[in-house]
Chain A
Amino acid sequence: MLHPNRKRHTRENVTGYLFASPWLIGFFALTLGPMVLSLLFSLIQWDGISVKTIRWAGFDNYSRAAGDPDVHTALVNTAYYSFVSVPLSLAVALGLAMLLNQRIRGLAIFRTIFYMPSVIGGVATIMMWLWVFNPDYGLLNGALRNGCNLLAALGIDSARTWELPKWLMSDRWAMPSLILMNLWGAGASMLIFLAALQNVPDSLYEAADLDGAGRWRKFLHITVPQISPAIFFNLVMGIIGSFQVFTQSFLMTGGGPNKATLFYVLYLYNKAFQDFEIGYASALAWILFVIIMFFTLLVLRSSKLWVYYEGE
C-alpha cells in the first residue's frame, strides 16, 4: 500500500502532467515528432513527392554535405551574418534602452517610436527596405548623394564622382545591407534591456557616486553585471535566430548576388523545395541543429563566468 504522502505526490504529478498536456501533446506531435522524422529522412534519398522514390542512403547525405562547396559558402555567409549582426544589434538595443531609461519629457512617445518597428510584420518591413536600398532612387543613396553634393560645394570636387554603394545589387554590400536592416528590429531586445535597467537598484549608483566612480565605470561595474541575465537571454536568442536567418535573403536577394547572401537555411530550402532532395535537406537541417546547439551550449557554459543572478 502506498504511503499517503507518496500517493499525494503521485496525484500531484499526474495533475501537473495533465495540466501541461495541451503543450506536451503539441510538442510531441508538432515538434519532436517531425524532428525524429527528419532524422530518419536524413538517412534516405527522397524526392518528397512519392514514397516509391525512397532509397536508403545511410550517412551519404552527411558526407555529401561535407564536400558541398555551396554548404561551405552558406556556412561562411551565415557565420558572418551571425557574428556581426548579433553583437551589433545587442549594442544598438542596449544603447537605445539606456537612452530611453532617462527621465525626459515625452519618454513614452520615444519608447513607442523605437519599439514600433518590431511590431510591423517582416514582409512589409522587407518591402520598405527594398526601396530604401534602391541604388538609384533609394532613401539611403539619396541622402549619401546629397552629402556628396554638400562636400563638393565645400570644395571637395572629387565627391561628385564618388561611386555610391549598390547595396543589395553588389556582392560586397549585400551582406552589410542585411545586417543594417536587422537593426531595424532591435526594439524587442531593447524592451528586455529596458526592463532589466529599471530593476537596477539606485542605491548601487549612489554608492558608486560617493566613491567617485565615473559614468563609464558605473556602466561597466554596475549596469552590465546587473543586466547580465538580460544580455545572456538576448545573446542566446540572437544566436539561434541569426543562424536561422532566411526571409530576408529569400525575399530580397534570392541568395545573390554571386551567392553573397546564400544563407544556410535558404540553401536548405532550395534543396528541399526546388531540387526536391528531402533527404539531403534533412541532413543539412540536422547539421544546423548541431551547430546551433554547440554555440548555445558554449554561451550557456560561459554564462557562469559573466552572468550575475541576484539570488545566487
Chain B
Amino acid sequence: MGGWMTTELGLWLTAAALAGLAAVASRLDAHRLASASAWASLAAFSLGSCVWLFADTYHHYYGQKENALRISYWGSYREHEMWKEIVAAFRERHPDIPLKREYITDRYEEKIQQLLLSNDAPDVMLFQDEPLPRFITSDKFQPLNDFCRTQGLETDLDRDYWDTAVQSFRQDGQAYGIPIWGGDCLLIYNRDAFRNAGVPEPPPQWTMDEFLTTCKHLTADTDGDGRLDRFAFDIPGWVYWLPFHYAFGAEYLDPTRKRWALWGPEAEASFQLWQDLRYRFHVAPHRAELTEGGNVAFLTGRVAMFVSGPWAMPPLNEAGVDFDIADIPSGPGGHGTRVTWDALVMFAGSTKKDWAWKFIHFATSLPAQEIVARYQRSVPALKAAKDAFIHANPKVQAKRFIDALVYARFQPITEHWMLMSREIGSETDLMLDNRQTPAATLRRLARNPHLAKCFEMPREDMTRDP
C-alpha cells in the first residue's frame, strides 16, 4: 500500500502546487497560465482522489493478495486475550502459517454479512448457533464433513464433542461449524446476600417450591423505609427464562421447528410464574426498581440470584464477588436448561482452506480447549477438556455447568430467530409490566401475523379471546 499512498500524496501535492501557481498567475493577469494551471490542478486533484477511492478495491482484485490466514471473533477484552493465547499456541506449532486476527468488537454479524457479500470474509469465523441458519442458506459457509476426515487432522464430532454442540451446527447431516465453546444457563447466586439474609444456600436438585420459599426469605426491606432493598431474583428476558420454561415442560417450537409450540397449559404456567415473581410475590424488582442494571445490583448484593451461563463467571471473579452456581429448580417437566454454543466456521470462498482447517482443528483440540477452560469464558466444546474447566476455579461449583449438559435442551433455532425473538420479547415485556395476562400474551403471540408467515400456528378457534 505504500506505493499507492505515495501516488495519492504526490498527486494531491501537485494539485496544491498548481492551484497556488494559478492563484499567483491570476494576480499577474496572465490569463492563459492561470487557466492552464487551474485545469491541471483540477485534473491532478481528481486523479489523486480516484486513486485514493479505488486503491483498496484495485489492490483487492488485481494486486498481490494478502497471504495471511484471517480469523475473526468478537468478545470482551479478556476473550481477546484468550484468543491471543490460542493464536500464539497455534503459531508455535505452525510457524509456517502467517495468521491475522480480526477482533470485531461490535455488531459482529452485520459486519460479517457485509464481508460475505463482498466475498472478502475472513477464512475462519467464530459464529453463534442462533444466527447460523440464516447464513447457511447463502452457501457462503464451507461444509466441513470432508475436512473432518483429513488424514492426520481427523475430527470425530459425535464421539468427542457435546451432543447439543454438534447438533447446533449440523444441518441435513452436514457440519457447518466445529463447536469451540458454549454453555448452559443456571442460577448464579451471591453468597453474601444469602449469608446476610440468613438463608441457606440452594441445595442441589431443588424444586420450584423450594426456590420460591428461598426467594421470599431473601427479599427484604433492610432499612425499614418502606422500600425493598434486597431482591431474590433478577427477572430475565425470554431467552434466559427458557430454563424455567423447559422445567415446566413447555416449549416454543416443536422438534420439526416448523410448528409453534409456545402454547398450552405448560407454557401458561411458565409465564405465570415469570410474572408472579415480580407482581404476586414481588421477589423480583419491577423495571423501575432496578434501573442500575442487573449486573450492578448483583455485585452489590441488591439482587441475590440471576440466570446466566459460564460467561458470567470471569467478570464476577475479577470483581471479587463471592458467588456460586445452583441448578435451575425442577418443575413439572423435570430439570431443564437451555444450552447455546459457538463454533468456528470456514468461509466457502477462502483460498486457504487447508490452513483454515489446520487452525479450526487446533482451536477445537485439547491444547486450545484447555486455554478456553482456564479462562472460564465458557464450557469447552471438547468433552476431554471438562476437567480442566471444573478445576480452573475451585471456589465455585463450575461442575454444575457440566452436569447440567446431560439434560440441557438444544434450542430449536431457525432462520427466523431474530424476528421471533423480537416478537416474543415485545409481548412478554407487556406481560412483565403487568399490562397483560400470561394467557393473553400466549394468545397474542399465537395470532401474531409476522410469526404466522414463518410457522404453523395454533388453530384460530383455539386462540379466541375468552
B is bound to A: yes
Asked whether B460 is an interface residue with its Cβ less than 8 Å from the other chain, the reply is no
Asked whether B149 is an interface residue with its Cβ less than 8 Å from the other chain, the reply is no
Q: Which residues of A contact B449 (CB under 8 A)?
A: 68-69
Cβ contact within 8 Å between B113 and A135 = no
Question: Which residue of chain B has the shortest Cβ distance to A272 in the bound complex?
Answer: B110
- Bound CA span A275–B418, Å: 6
Question: Which residue of chain B has the shortest Cβ distance to A49 in the bound complex?
Answer: B138
Q: Which residues of B contact A25 (CB under 8 A)?
A: 46, 49
The A99-157 residues at the B interface (CB cut-off 8 A) are 134-138
Cβ contact within 8 Å between B429 and A21 = no
Cβ contact within 8 Å between A273 and B113 = yes
**Residue from B113, B138, B426 within 8 A of A259 (CB atoms):** B426
Contact A270:B422 (CB < 8 A) given known A136-B292, A257-B429, A258-B430: yes
Cβ contact within 8 Å between B113 and A49 = yes
Cβ contact within 8 Å between B288 and A258 = no
Cβ contact within 8 Å between B426 and A258 = yes
Q: Which residues of B contact A22 (CB under 8 A)?
A: 45-46, 49
Asked whether A70 is an interface residue with its Cβ less than 8 Å from the other chain, the reply is yes
Cβ contact within 8 Å between B137 and A48 = no
- Bound CA span A49–B132, Å: 12
The interface size of chain A toward B, counting residues with CB under 8 Å, comes to 30
Residue among B42, B422, B430, B449 with the highest chain A CB neighbour number at 10 A: B422
- Bound CA span A270–B418, Å: 9
Q: Which residues of B contact A138 (CB under 8 A)?
A: 291
Q: Which residues of A contact B137 (CB under 8 A)?
A: 47, 53
Cβ contact within 8 Å between B450 and A70 = yes
Asked whether B433 is an interface residue with its Cβ less than 8 Å from the other chain, the reply is yes
Asked whether A5 is an interface residue with its Cβ less than 8 Å from the other chain, the reply is no
Q: Which residues of B contact A21 (CB under 8 A)?
A: 42, 46
Q: Which residues of B contact A169 (CB under 8 A)?
A: 287-288, 291
The A11-56 residues at the B interface (CB cut-off 8 A) are 18-19, 21-22, 25, 47-50, 52-53
The interface size of chain B toward A, counting residues with CB under 8 Å, comes to 31
Contact A166:B135 (CB < 8 A) given known A258-B426, A270-B422, A274-B422: no
Asked whether B117 is an interface residue with its Cβ less than 8 Å from the other chain, the reply is yes
Residue among A53, A273, A274 with the highest chain B CB neighbour number at 10 A: A274
Asked whether B78 is an interface residue with its Cβ less than 8 Å from the other chain, the reply is no
Contact A137:B42 (CB < 8 A) given known A48-B117, A50-B116, A274-B418: no
Question: Which residue of chain A has the shortest Cβ distance to B448 in the bound complex?
Answer: A69
Cβ contact within 8 Å between B426 and A135 = no
Cβ contact within 8 Å between A257 and B433 = yes
Tell me if B's interface is mostly helix, strand, loop or mixed.
helix
Q: How many A-B residue pairs have CB under 8 A?
A: 69
- Bound CA span A47–B45, Å: 38
Cβ contact within 8 Å between A135 and B291 = yes
**Residue from B45, B139, B426 within 8 A of A256 (CB atoms):** B426
Q: Which residues of B contact A49 (CB under 8 A)?
A: 113, 116-117, 135, 138, 140
The B378-431 residues at the A interface (CB cut-off 8 A) are 416, 418-419, 422, 426, 429-430
Asked whether A276 is an interface residue with its Cβ less than 8 Å from the other chain, the reply is yes
Cβ contact within 8 Å between B138 and A50 = yes
Interface string of A262-286 (1 = CB under 8 A from B): 0000000010011110000000000
Q: Which residues of B contact A275 (CB under 8 A)?
A: 416, 418-419
Residue among A47, A49, A69 with the highest chain B CB neighbour number at 10 A: A49
Taking the closest CB of chain A, its distance from the CB of B176, in whole angstroms, is 14
Q: Which residues of B contact A257 (CB under 8 A)?
A: 429, 433
Taking the closest CB of chain A, its distance from the CB of B292, in whole angstroms, is 7
Q: Which residues of A contact B138 (CB under 8 A)?
A: 47, 49-50, 52-53
Cβ contact within 8 Å between A136 and B422 = no
The B97-123 residues at the A interface (CB cut-off 8 A) are 110, 113, 116-117
- Bound CA span A135–B290, Å: 9
Cβ contact within 8 Å between B418 and A18 = no
Cβ contact within 8 Å between A136 and B113 = no
Interface string of A239-273 (1 = CB under 8 A from B): 00000000000000000111100000000001001
Asked whether B456 is an interface residue with its Cβ less than 8 Å from the other chain, the reply is no
- Bound CA span A136–B296, Å: 14
The B258-311 residues at the A interface (CB cut-off 8 A) are 287-289, 291-292
Question: Which residue of chain A has the shortest Cβ distance to B450 in the bound complex?
Answer: A70
Q: Which residues of A contact B419 (CB under 8 A)?
A: 274-275
Contact A50:B140 (CB < 8 A) given known A258-B426, A258-B429, A273-B113: yes
- Bound CA span A25–B45, Å: 13
Asked whether B31 is an interface residue with its Cβ less than 8 Å from the other chain, the reply is no
Question: Which residue of chain B has the shortest Cβ distance to A163 in the bound complex?
Answer: B288
Taking the closest CB of chain A, its distance from the CB of B137, in whole angstroms, is 7
Cβ contact within 8 Å between B288 and A166 = yes
- Bound CA span A138–B433, Å: 21
Asked whether B134 is an interface residue with its Cβ less than 8 Å from the other chain, the reply is yes
- Bound CA span A25–B46, Å: 10
- Bound CA span A137–B292, Å: 8
Q: Which residues of A contact B435 (CB under 8 A)?
A: 258
Cβ contact within 8 Å between A135 and B288 = yes
4 tightest Cβ-Cβ pairs between the two chains A and B: A50-B138, A49-B138, A136-B291, A135-B288
6 A–B contacts, CB within 8 A, in A order: A166-B288, A256-B429, A257-B429, A258-B433, A275-B416, A276-B113
| Apart from A50-B139, A134-B291, A138-B291, 4 more pairs, CB < 8 Å | A21-B42, A21-B46, A49-B117, A49-B135
